Every structure is written in C-alpha cells, then in structure tokens.
Amino acid sequence: MSETAERSAAEMRGLLRFAQGLGLNEATVRKIYEAVGREAMAIGASDDDCMAEVRKRMLAAAQG
C-alpha cells in the first residue's frame, strides 16, 4: 500500500470513530471526506486544513 493510501486509510479510521460519537453513518463520512478532498486538491489546501474541514462538516451534518 502506498504512503498516500495508508494515510487516507488511517484518516478514515479516525473519522469513522469520530462519526460514531456523532451518530453519523459511514456513507455520510465518506461523502464528506471525498467532497473535501476534491475541493482541497483544487485550491491546494494542506492536510491539516482538510481534516479540520471534514470534522467541521461532520459536526454540521450531525446537528441536522
């Protein structure tokens, strides 16, 4: 597995644990993660900024 794939898998595992506490399902988390990833590539955002944005969107999704 490449370093990028390993990092993505680790990020997803962490996000899924976070999602459990919020009551979000895996499909929702993946949708958010992929959308933020596409947007980040377009603007060249850092990994830290991407993960912060994913968490922010997950919180918003959990609130309804």
Q: How confident is the model over 1-14, as pLDDT tens digits?
A: 788 889 889 999 99
- Number of domains, the chain: 1
Amino acid at 62: A
In whole numbers, what is the pLDDT of the chain averaged over residues? 93
Q: How many CB atoms lie within 10 A of CB 19?
A: 21
> Is residue 23 scored above 90 in pLDDT?
yes
pLDDT score at 50: 93
Assign 52 a pLDDT band (cuts: 50, 70, 90): very high
Please determine, for residue 44, whether its predicted confidence score (pLDDT) is greater than 80.
Answer: yes
Distance CA 14, CA 39 (A): 20
Provide CB contacts within 8 A for 55, sequence distance 6+.
Answer: 15, 18
- Show the domain range for 42: 3-63
